[in-house]
Amino acid sequence: MSLHIPFDNSYAALPDAFYTRLDPTPVSKPQMLAWNDALASDLGITGSDATVFAGNTVPKGAAPLAQLYAGHQFGNYNPQLGDGRAILLGEVIDEAGTRRDIQLKGSGPTPYSRMGDGRAWLGPVLREYVVSEAMHALRIPTSRALAAVATGDPVYREQGALPGAVLTRVAASHLRVGTFQVFAHRGHIGELRTLADYAIARHWPDADGPMGLLSAVCAAQAELIAAWMSVGFIHGVMNTDNCTISGETIDYGPCAFMDAYTEGRVFSSIDQMGRYAYGNQPRIAVWNMAQLATALIQLFEDKDKAVEDATAIVHAMPNQLQVAWLRRFGAKIGLNSPTADHQPMIEELLALMQTDGADFTNTFAALGTDSARDQFSDRDAFDAWAQRWQATNPDIDLMARTNPQIIPRNHRIEAMIEAAVAGDMGPFERLTKALATPFRATDPDLHRPPNTDEIVPATFCGT
């Protein structure tokens, strides 16, 4: 069956200041490694073609471009970033009526590449494929993976020559806080207003102007971060250029899921100060929203009133985060309507887990069974907590729907990448299949935490 993508592009209709038009750079030997049939069907895409998803052929109706944006990276403002190794092919409207971007990641250099080669190697491509699809199965808003294609060309990194690959990423959009920042920083108020109007129309049609947009994005980000926390996910690079207006998770670089619960756990090899540690993620989300507010304030003539309104919206976000966190963690221990009175019970369990190095996922998955106490060395302390918890009459069915049995553990991902580099896609296929049903135990060996010699202490940016 020949490939058909029902493009319905809108971003390409914006002024040229928002992007640079260019085609992907062809590769030598495109080979399809993974194709997401279910997602393709949702998008109305029929057929598949490695040459298209490697960037060798531009499909009919596409409007290829690299998007412009800026961003704070580890707290430092970079006035121009942009898609340095990605090309937005265009947009489709999925079966739910939502507009979705189709983007090639690793598709060659662009004017925003900043001395980079614009390519990606196989490891980060497969990592993003696996983790983004796992997040979708966990019902957490996320970009998704449509295809992974081998290029047949080497990519040179510090490790030497590595096999090249291209990921096809699908997202509600690639609008970021940094997209607003670039125009606000340059004083391009006309473009900033156009962008705000576009973001409202595309994502938040009920929002009342720029402040309504800010309020909607803050609420979406609060829900997103609480969802991350509830599954032990650490994004790793919560820069403003990785923070979406849609409220989706995007850019799976040095991300990971915790094994043993540790509030200060960091996986990114470049996060030396722990800025994006697990427990810091709510605070950083608020900081990112303050940067969006700073950009949007430029749209108002009465700056003092705008500052007052934006400050109130951003200052309300910590409470939004707390409410979302309590609802999600309450569900993890079987509470349908948790209140602030239940929070100490949740925090006590997390403290016990941290003290004993209990596995985050397996502890919650085992609650209500005899094996739960096996996660702890101080079993008497856990038994005392469990006795008080049982008095709340927890909803076991709610817990089963909330607590995953399996997550994409870092050691499994690294082993999958190593096998794929050697030409064996079996571990990738096994892992992807198991992660598609995270609330059911279908492959028990994949649920196992790493042995001491399997622990992966850090992950690296997907370059």
pLDDT band at 19 (very low <50, low <70, confident <90, very high): very high
Q: Is the pLDDT of residue 359 over 60?
A: yes
Q: What is the pLDDT of residues 435-462, one digit of tens each?
A: 999 999 888 889 889 888 888 777 765 5
The one catalytic residue among 94, 241, 309, 359: 241
Query: Given this model, what pLDDT does residue 420 score?
Result: 98
pLDDT at 1: 61
Question: pLDDT (tens digit, 9 = 90+) per residue, 82-115?
Answer: 999 999 999 999 999 999 999 999 999 999 998 8
Mean pLDDT within 67-74:
95
Q: Which residues pair with 78 in a beta bridge?
A: 71
Residue 50, number of CB atoms within 10 A of its CB: 21
Count of residues making up the chain: 463
Structural tokens at position 410 = 């870092």
pLDDT mean across residues, the chain: 95
The residue assigned the tokens 């928002």 is 18
Q: Which residue has the tokens 């920083």?
A: 185
Q: Which of 34, 12, 44 is nearest to 166 (CA)?
A: 34
Q: How far apart are CA 122 and CA 166, in angstroms?
A: 8
pLDDT tier at 2, thresholds 50, 70, 90: confident
Span 217-226, average pLDDT: 98
DSSP summary character for residue 142: B
Point out which residues pair with 93 in neighbouring strands: 99
| Residue that wins the pLDDT comparison between 64 and 441 | 64
Q: How confident is the model over 276-287, as a mean pLDDT?
A: 97
Beta-strand pair 19-21/65-67 = antiparallel
- Supply the pLDDT for residue 444: 84
Give residue 12's identity as a one-letter amino acid code: A
Which amino acid does the sequence have at 174? H
44 band by pLDDT with thresholds 50, 70 and 90: very high
Section 45-57 average pLDDT: 96
> Strand 19-21 and strand 160-171: pairing?
unpaired
Give residue 55's region: left, alpha or beta (phi > 0; psi -120 to 50): left
* Stretch 209-213: mean pLDDT: 98
User: b/e per residue, 203-218, with b = 16+ CB within 10 A?
Assistant: bbeebeebbebbbbbb
Q: What pLDDT is stored for residue 461 in this prediction?
A: 58
Does residue 23 have an active-site annotation? no
β 256-257/144-157 pair status:
unpaired
Supply the pLDDT for residue 159.
85
Instruction: Tell me the mean pLDDT in the region 278-305.
Output: 97
pLDDT exceeding 70 applies to what percent of the chain?
Answer: 99
pLDDT tens by residue, 126-170: 999 999 999 999 999 999 999 999 999 999 988 899 999 999 999
Query: Does the pLDDT value for residue 122 go beyond 80?
Result: yes
pLDDT score for 457: 74
Spell out the residues 6+ positions from residue 45 whose beta carbon is closer than 8 angstroms to its own.
3, 4, 5, 6, 92, 146
Tell me, what's the pLDDT at 288? 98
Q: Using alpha carbons, select from 107, 83, 251 the residue that is nearest to residue 166.
A: 107
Q: What is the per-residue pLDDT for 203? A: 98
Residue 462: what pLDDT? 55
> What is d(CA 134, CA 227) in angstroms, rounded to the nearest whole number?
13
pLDDT surpasses 90 at 291: yes
Quote the CA–CA distance of 154 and 28 in Å, as a whole number: 10
pLDDT exceeds cutoff 60 at 25: yes
Contact yes or no for 154/28 (Cβ under 8 A): no
Tokens at 221, concatenated = 């980000």
Cα–Cα distance between 199 and 309 in angstroms, integer?
Answer: 20
- pLDDT at residue number 325: 98
Q: Please name which of 62, 45, 37, 50 lies closest in space to residue 5, comparing C-alpha atoms.
A: 45
Task: Return the pLDDT at 443.
Answer: 87
Confidence of residue 342 (pLDDT cuts 50, 70, 90): very high
